[in-house]
Amino acid sequence: MRNKLTLFKKAVIVLLILLIPTLILYSYSNYVTEQVIKEEIHSRNVNRLEVSANRLDADLEQISQFLMALSIDSDISSLRNIDLYSPYDAVVLKEKVSNKLLTYQQLSRLLVDVSIYMPNNESVITTMATFPGQPNDLSESWSYISDVENSREIWTNEYFLRHVRYPTNNQQIGNEVVIEARVYVDSIRKHLAELESADLNDAFLIHNQFGRITSRNHTYKPENSNMKEEMKGDSGTLQLTYNGKQHLVSYVQSEALGWTLVDYVPLEEVLSPVYKSRHLLYGSVALMVLLGFISGWLLYKNIHIPIRQLKDGIKRIKRSDYSVRMEIGIQNEFSSLMSGFNEMTVQIQTLIEQVYEEKIRSQEASLKLLQAQINPHFLYNCLFYIKNMAKVQQTDAVEAMALHLGQYFRYRTKVEEENTHLSEEMDLISTFLAIHSLRKRSLTYSISIPKQMEDLIIPRLLIQPIVENAVVHAIEKLEGNGHITITGGILKNGYFVAVDDNGKGLMDHERKVLKNELELDEMLEGSYGMRNVHHRLKGRYGGTSGLSIEESKLGGLRVELIWETGKSD
């Protein structure tokens, strides 16, 4: 026993055992976290770049579709023979074509100008502010043009150009029409600006021959002369070093332009929270070990030992050993608790005996009070009925009422007997309902109890209060015919007697309130009789015994008295 490890020693050993795997797991977790963050950044940026590149390609494809639609437009075809039109008709045709060009221009999400050249008569219809010159070379795909010298405005000095010729075959017939679209780089810069995230990365387009296209807010530029050569495939990611810092570069190629859309993230800024949390954890682990030793010892000395003493004392009380006493040592919270424990053990046996005796006396008094209780209003109504029947010389009614009333009170006033047979209780209820049926001719009732239940021993006046409650609160308030049924039955582990009426019943929330009142210990004026019966059933038979209140099939309330078998008084 001397070599047995204490709880404090076990806690220290467990702490040391858990510490090393924890550090190893965290180091591995930190490495995995870095890799996951890199993969997440790569996946996020590539997906974002693919969406942006697809949207840019879709916008350019839309413009290409506009050009193809214009190439087969009937009005554009008419321009080939515009020399055959009268001056007025030629002006109307040009105005009509110009309006279509403006419509196509407004439908595009990119900044675009559309021009129609007629080389035969050297005329131009355009959405540009100034008339451009005739194109020397036709570009069937999007080509990058940097025209700084000939541009009058800064935002028009760079653009992507594409032509469509009508007829679409390569044969020159002398009156062909050339349709041109210019997508300005300034609108693509706005498209790039939407990709930027604050202080982390900037997106730009790169080309081996023409260099870069960046947004106007682009400030951070990691230069690398071999960046385009290191990009393999249409999309991917790579790591580059710029100014001693690692950058994660993601790229996606635009199919329409042939340029590559690039985005990059400085890894040090992204992973700095991971590095900080790693250093913070190592420091916190060291502090945790020190505080763990200190707090473990204090808890063991000031809490574990007193609790163990109290636990041993409680076990002795459970064995009915009320002589147990706690040794009070250091004055702290447990000293007052142990002092109270000592005082409790001195008084507990006396209190148990007093409470037990008082409970027995209270139960006996409650039973005798219930048995001896006579409702004066009920007696006055019966006597008034006898008086009225005697006045009209209804001797049979007077005799029946007097006989039933005598039997009823003879049973009610037998306070010396605590128990009775179920058949005698049913006789009392039959007498009680017969009295009310004499007074209220519209009242009918039926009683159906299995024969094997008639000899059951139950407490006196157990069912009568429930029947009286149904008559007073349901039948008396009913304007039409009233009916009460009393049925009994055998359950798997007990018996039940149900009282149904066809009164107005109770709403769901009212039944819920009544069920809650049955469980209360204090006496309530409106539900004393039912609460008394409920507690008598629970106290005598235990288990699930008690009253069950539900909606009756007759339309009113159904109250079931349920008691289990196998438990004595």
Q: Compare 320 and 143 and report the one with higher pLDDT.
A: 143
Look up the CATH number of the domain holding residue 178: 3.30.450
Q: How confident is the model at residue 487, as a pLDDT?
A: 94
Angstrom CA distances, 527 to 179, 464, 465, 503, 524, stand at 96, 14, 11, 17, 6
Does 226 map to a domain? no
Query: CA dist 141 to 439, 466, 542, Å?
Result: 108, 96, 93
* Per-residue model confidence (pLDDT) at position 558: 93
Confidence of residue 220 (pLDDT cuts 50, 70, 90): low
From CA 360, how far away is CA 418, in angstroms rounded? 13
- pLDDT tier, 495 (very low <50, low <70, confident <90, very high otherwise): very high
Domain containing 554 — which CATH number?
A: 3.30.565.10
CB of 442 within 8 A of CB of 480? Answer: yes
Are residue 402 and residue 527 in the same domain, yes or no?
yes
Cα separation, 318 vs 320, in Å, equals: 5
Residue 274 maps to a domain: no
326 and 383 fall within a common domain: no
Q: Is residue 493 part of a domain?
A: yes
Phi, psi torsion values for 566, nearest 5 degrees: 105, 0
Query: What are the distances in angstroms from CA 465 to CA 409, 483, 486?
Result: 14, 17, 13
Asked if residue 442 and residue 334 are part of one domain, the reply reads no
pLDDT reported for residue 264: 78
pLDDT higher than threshold 70 for residue 341:
yes
Q: Is residue 127 in a domain?
A: yes
Give the residue, 58 or 299, on which the prediction is more confident: 58
Residue at a domain's end among 368, 396, 426: 368
The verdict on 92 and 106 lying in the same domain is: yes
pLDDT value, residue 261: 83
pLDDT of amino acid 154: 46
According to DSSP, the β-strands at 211-214 and 204-207 are antiparallel
Q: Residue 206: what pLDDT?
A: 79
Q: What is the mean pLDDT of residues 472-497?
A: 89
What would the 3-class secondary structure string for 486-538 be? Answer: EEEEECCCEEEEEEEECCCCCCHHHHHHHHHHHCCCCCCCCCHHHHHHHHHHH
Q: Which of 142, 162, 185 is the last residue of a domain?
A: 185
Count CA within 13 A, CB hemisphere, residue 145.
22
Taking every pair of C-alpha atoms in the chain, what is the biggest distance, in angstroms? 136
H-assigned helices in 373-476: 376-391, 395-412, 422-439, 464-470
Q: Which residue has the tokens 């007073």?
A: 472
Q: Are residues 468 and 520 in the same domain?
A: yes
Answer for the pair 499, 550: CB distance below 8 angstroms, yes or no. no
* Same domain (yes/no): 383, 498: yes
What are residue 161's phi and psi, to 5 degrees? Answer: -120, 145
pLDDT tens track for 376-424: 667 777 777 787 788 887 888 788 888 887 887 777 767 567 788 999 8
Range scoring the smallest mean pLDDT among 17-31, 221-235, 444-458: 221-235
Measured between alpha carbons, how far is 68 from 63 in angstroms, rounded to an integer? 9
Q: 504 and 355 in one domain?
A: no
Residue at a domain's end among 131, 155, 185: 185
- Integer CA distances (angstroms), 487 to 113, 493, 496, in order: 95, 18, 8
User: Which residue range(s) make up the domain with 382?
Assistant: 373-564
Residue 126 pLDDT greater than 60, yes or no: yes
First to last CA, the chain: 50
Q: Kind and range of the H or E element at 459?
A: strand 457-459
pLDDT computed for residue 222 by the predictor: 56
Name, in order, each residue with C-beta under 8 angstroms of 553's C-beta and a sequence gap of 6 or more. Answer: 500
How would residue 153 be classed by pLDDT, with cut points 50, 70 and 90? very low
Most confidently modeled range among 22-26, 83-87, 494-498: 494-498
**Is residue 175 assigned to a domain?**
yes
Our count of domains for the chain comes to 3
Asked if residue 526 and residue 559 are part of one domain, the reply reads yes
Taking alpha carbons only, the member of 144, 153, 45, 66 closest to residue 109 is 66
Tens of pLDDT along 505-545? 888 888 888 888 888 765 555 556 788 888 888 888 888 88
Residue 489 exposed, middle or buried by CB count within 10 Å (0-12, 13-18, 19+):
middle
Average pLDDT, the chain: 77
In a domain, 106, yes or no: yes
Residue 260's pLDDT is 83
Residues 436, 539 within the same domain: yes
pLDDT over 60 at 38, yes or no: yes
Q: Measuring CA to CA, how many Å separate 172 from each of 120, 366, 418? A: 11, 120, 125
The answer to whether the beta carbons of residues 559 and 530 sit under 8 Å apart is yes
Same domain, 343 and 415: no
549 vs 527, residue with greater confidence: 549
**Would you call 239 helix, strand, or coil by DSSP?**
strand
The residue count of the chain comes to 569
Determine contact, residues 224/242, Cβ cutoff 8 Å.
yes
- Residue 569, pLDDT > 70, answer no
| Helix orientation angle between 7-71 and 185-193, rounded to the nearest 10 degrees | 160
Q: Give the single-character DSSP code of 265.
A: E
Neighbours of 19 (CB within 10 A): 15
Query: Does the pLDDT of residue 171 top 60, yes or no?
Result: no
Output DSSP code: residue 131: P
171, with CB counted inside 10 A (0-12, 13-18, 19+), is exposed
Of 537 and 172, which is predicted with more confidence?
537
Nearest-Å Rg of the Cα atoms of the chain is 50
Is 334 within a domain? yes
* Residue 352 sits in the same domain as residue 384: no
* Whether 516 and 441 share a structural domain: yes
Tell me the three state secondary structure of residue 419.
strand
